[in-house]
Structure formats: C-alpha cells, structure tokens
Amino acid sequence: MDRPPIEPIRTTRKLSFLDDQQLKALQEATFQILENTGVQFPSDKALDIFSEHGAIVDSETKIVKIPRDLVIKAMQNVPRYFTLGARNPDFDLKLQEGVSYFTNDGCGHNVVDFKTREKRASTKKDVGMAARINDYLSSMAFSWTMVSAQDCGLTSPLHEIDVTWRNNTKHYQSVTMMGEEICRYGLEMATVLRGSEEELRSRPPISLIVCTIAPLVQDKEAIEGALVFGEKGIPIVVMSMPTMGTTAPATYAGALAVGDAEVISATVLLQLANPGTPVFHSIFHAWADPRTAAYVGYSLDSRGRYAPVEMAHHWGMPSLGGAFGTEASEPDSWRSAAEIATDPLLVALAGAEIVTGIGLRDTYTTLYPESFILDDDIYHSARFSLLDMDVNPDTLAVDVIAAVKPGGHFLSQKHTRKNMRTSMVRGVNHHLNKSGKYRDPSEYARERVQWILDNHHPEPPDEDVQKEIDRILKAADKELKN
C-alpha cells in the first residue's frame, strides 16, 4: 500500500537563544573543563587512544585531560552534514540547513497494552508495533527504539534492530546498543542489510546514541560501542543529560558547560580514533526539584531547552534537539499536550537537524500507542505554521468577491466548492461523530492506530537477508547470553 512521504519541518526562519559572545564563553568553559578538570573514560581502549595523541591520561583515576590544541585539531574533522540512509532509499535523510527531521521518543520500558489497557513491561512485539506505526506516519523521518525488548535479555538491542527492520523502512537510530560485542553484531546485521561495507558507510541504515554519565564521566560500554561504529563511519549521537543541582551546577550556564564538555570529550575521542566519524551533539538538561530532588523535565523557565542546538552548530556539528517528553502520565490530559505543544515549533526554529520525542508519556518511560497520533498532530500543526504561502490571483479570489458583492455569501460559488475541502486540514480534533459533534481526539487516535496496524505492512527485508540476520541473532544469543 502507499504510505505518506516523510514531511520534515522546513523553514528559512531562525531563532537564537544565545548570542555569539555567550557561545564563545560556553566554548571557552568547555576548553577549560577538558584541560583542567578532565573527563573520566573507564575504558583502556579509549585511554590508549588519548595517550597516543598526547592527552594527559591518569591511568589510576582514568581521567583524561585534553589540551585545547588537541580538541581543536580533532574537532576539525567532524562533518557538519552527512546522510542517514534508510532501508528504502526514498527515505534517506540528507542533513541540511533549514530542515528538521523528527522521530519518536525512546527508550521506554512500559507499555499500556493496546487491547487490554493494562500497563506492563515492554516486549519485542511492542518494538515492532511502534516501528510499524512510525513507518506509516509522515511526521516520522526516522525511527528510534521507542521501548525496549525486555523479553530478549542481554541481546535485546539486536532483537530491537531485527524487529524494527521487519516493520520499518526508514533510518533506525538505536538508543540501547552498548558494548563492543553487541555493536559488532549490530554492524554485521547492518552490513548484511546493506550488502557491502562501502554501501554501509555511504548510506548507513543505522546509527547509535550513547549517553554520558553526568558529571564528566563516559560509560565504558557506551564509549567502546561507539568506537566500533566509528570504525565503519556510522553516525553516532553523543547525548548528555545533566540535572541541575545534582549532577550539574544549579545554573543554566554551568549545566550546559558540563554537558558540552562531556559531548565534546567523546567526540574528540571518536575523531582521534577515526577522523571524519559523523557525530551529533545533544544535551537534554533537567532540574532537580529543590524540595523532593525529583527529576523535572519542564520548568516554567525553559530557555535553555533549545540553546544546545546553537552550541552544536558553534562547534560545527549537527544537533539532536530535545522536544516532547512530557512528565504527564496520562496519554491525553491537558498537561500531556500543553507541556510539549511549544516544542516542535521552537526546536525547529532553533535549527535542530534531527529531533526526538514523539509519543511517550511519564518522562520517556511509558508508551500508549495512541499518543503517537496525538503528538503527530501537534507536530504537523507546527510544520504547517512554518510553510511558505501561496498567493496568486486564484487564491486571492478578487473576482469571486466582486461577483458575491457586499452582504452576499460564498456558498454557491464554484471557487468555494473547489477549495473548501483543502482549506481545512483536518487534525485529530476535527473528526465528527454521527451527530456532527467533534469526537474525543483520544478515541480517534486509538482508532487510527488500529487502522495502521490492520492495514500498513511495510515490506520486510529480502528473504535471504532476513535468513542471514536470523543467523547472526542466533549466534549473538548463543555467545552473549551464555
């Protein structure tokens, strides 16, 4: 069946949250942190690379201090734009100025079962379901691991790749792969899918997200996995998630500086190991509630939410921007919409190349399948508001107005019949029930999910390819689970 094309947010307009002087001050802070405080890399492999390139490595504490010149030299190799390949070449994403590609949120661990409405741990089947919904929606330019395949144990990241490819033809960004072994298996699967290493490198169908540990620590498994991907030129997102007051200073600038130093230290490592590795910069900061210390993703003052996009660009890197991720635990409450509704417009105006966040509730942890459709509606509203206008004699309709005359009406005009059904872009809020009243958007969204699951069946990988992937999975299960 036909599926809608990808519809990214395109805009020539831009918003700035930081000025040049502030960007320089933040960059200078990162230089100072990297040079004077250092970042811990609990990986001998990483420490060796730093050591070979002249960084100051303390082998006991595993803290690396990186001289400014080395940072500058390494960062010169980071590509500003590159391509994220997809299973279907029509869905390849060429990163470019003025285009923001969005995806779903990740990586949750709870699902509210679509049939029983019971909340339970997520499974491989749920990953497949989310991938299939993603594949159908035009707001989704690529796919993220929305929930984890908790029924697959240690090799769940590989099973998530497998079930995503069976259900989705867009680029896949894994949020859960960690460690050298898992990543090597993942790359093997991607090479089989693509057919050759050259193809894998030029149109990578997969990319990886690795998170740092604030403050100023890299995770051994994450960083070693990233190095494996870097060997093959596969894109990597380095994401820092500092929480003001606990794992970061309780000031915006301080938290951004810590986050930036973490991202840049990992990027430097990846460039020293494999110059030219494509890397995305990403900082998602949060607050510790001063009274309860609870994680707060949305403060009333969220000025810093979009600032990391500009910091990434200042380093000459593309950015993964933060959006959505409501703390509301319900799929369809006022809060679940209001908290996130400002995001897609502002993050696109900030210029983020890729953006995550659609569809989860309860601070990135819980999937209600219908939330996909509700958030998709908010996304498109932002997209439409940034579209270019079409002004011509037909749309101006001055002749029609002259024919109608003052005090008349337009109901009988051919121009009205021709245009009135396209004038209204029906959102989830505009669907009518039998008595002509608007339906509950959540009810409509559930129906839409059911329709997609019943009718949309993306073409799976070729049989031979799938057999080979199955073989790799089996081998991984055998080796890693034992």
Partner 1 sequence: MASMTPDLLAFSTKNKREVLSQEQLDLLKAGTYRILQDVGVKFPSKIALNVFSDHGADVDWDTQIVKLKPGLVDKALKTAPRSFILGGREERFDLLLDGNHYYLSTDGCGSRAIDLETRQERDSRKEDVARMARICDALPLIGFFWPLVSAQDHGMTAPLHECHAGLTNTLKHVRGGTTVFPELAKFLVEMATVVSGSDDERRKRPPICANICGIAPLAHDEHGIDSALIYAEAGIPMSFMAMPTMGSTAPATPWGALVSADAEVISAMVLIQLAYPGAPVFHSIEVSLMHPRTGGYVTSIDYPFGRMTVQIGHNWNVPVLGGGGTSSDAREIGWYSGSATGMGAASIPTGGGEICGYLGMLDGSMLLYPEQIILDHELCFEVYKSNQAIEFTEADLALDVIKSVGPGSHFLREKHTRQHIRDFPLSPITGEIYLGDKRRPSREVALQEFNKINETHHPEPLPKGKLVELDKILAAADKEAEKLQKGK
- Distance between CA atoms of 460 and 315, rounded to whole angstroms? 39
C-alpha to C-alpha distances, 423 to 251, 395, 416, 419, nearest whole angstrom: 46, 11, 10, 6
Taking the complex as a whole, the smallest distance from the CB of residue 350 to partner 1 amounts, in Å, to 10
- Distance between CA atoms of 197 and 219, rounded to whole angstroms? 27
Q: Which of 190, 91, 83, 200 is nearest to 135 (CA)?
A: 91
Taking the complex as a whole, the smallest distance from the CB of residue 37 to partner 1 amounts, in Å, to 5
For 7, counting Cβ atoms within 10 Å of its Cβ (0-12 exposed, 13-18 middle, 19+ buried), the class is middle
Taking the complex as a whole, the smallest distance from the CB of residue 301 to partner 1 amounts, in Å, to 4
Taking the complex as a whole, the smallest distance from the CB of residue 194 to partner 1 amounts, in Å, to 37
**124 or 383: CB nearest partner 1:** 383
- Distance between CA atoms of 194 and 85, rounded to whole angstroms? 10
**161 or 347: CB nearest partner 1:** 347
**126 or 327: CB nearest partner 1:** 327
C-alpha to C-alpha distances, 179 to 143, 446, 481, nearest whole angstrom: 21, 37, 14
**382 or 469: CB nearest partner 1:** 382
**1 or 402: CB nearest partner 1:** 402
Q: Take residue 444 and report the two structure tokens written for it.
A: 């409509």
**253 or 465: CB nearest partner 1:** 253
Taking the complex as a whole, the smallest distance from the CB of residue 260 to partner 1 amounts, in Å, to 11
Taking the complex as a whole, the smallest distance from the CB of residue 419 to partner 1 amounts, in Å, to 4
What does the CA dihedral 45, 48, 54, 57 come to, rounded to 10 degrees? Answer: 90
**114 or 410: CB nearest partner 1:** 410
Taking the complex as a whole, the smallest distance from the CB of residue 87 to partner 1 amounts, in Å, to 31
DSSP category for residue 100: E
Locate all alpha helices (DSSP H) within 249-354, ordered by sequence.
252-273, 307-314, 334-341, 343-350
Q: Take residue 399 and report the two structure tokens written for it.
A: 């002749």
**1 or 411: CB nearest partner 1:** 411
Rg over CA atoms, the chain: 24
Taking the complex as a whole, the smallest distance from the CB of residue 7 to partner 1 amounts, in Å, to 13
- Distance between CA atoms of 197 and 205, rounded to whole angstroms? 12
